[in-house]
A and B are shown apart, each in its own frame.
Chain A
Amino acid sequence: DQQVKQNSPSLSVQEGRISILNCDYTNSMFDYFLWYKKYPAEGPTFLISISSIKDKNEDGRFTVFLNKSAKHLSLHIVPSQPGDSAVYFCAASGVGSEKLVFGKGTKLTVNP
């Protein structure tokens, strides 16, 4: 049973435009959500996180939105740059737990 789902395996956008990556979850006990960027054969790089007490968090070009009623979160990258091309993973953890449950990832390609 996949508790964290990233339904789009890939996404292609033009440089300078907005990239929107989506993530859905099923476990209502999740209260902390993180986005990671990953290149092949490397460890994931932490991008941004959001706790369940917020519905939006921004850090530079990255904004994460959380809709608890829909059990949905999204990552917005504005403006997108070619260096953003990578696989993006959504992850979630429950109250008081360090265990991260990951989605399968979305491969983002930003075209110059």
Chain B
Amino acid sequence: GENVEQHPSTLSVQEGDSAVIKCTYSDSASNYFPWYKQELGKGPQLIIDIRSNVGEKKDQRIAVTLNKTAKHFSLHITETQPEDSAVYFCAPAGGGTSYGKLTFGQGTILTVHP
């Protein structure tokens, strides 16, 4: 099955700084790479995703980059704000008989200090 590692496990930044979280996966058949944000008491919220035919995608302050050869993808948050504080999960998925099920990383606790 898929093995997913996410680093760092905790990340503390000052407001306005950038934050980068990296996710490494093992299954070369993975073709869908989402990032989720989870706030306390809430379910995971999809914030950005990328497919295997694209190397980078950006949505305002959030971007995702994919390196399929090295089997890793990263979340980039620029101009961080206190409301960005949450737990972030990567969750790569494959096609075919995996039926799109997500395999989650261990999570990164991001704290943005005002």
Q: Do these two chains interact?
A: no
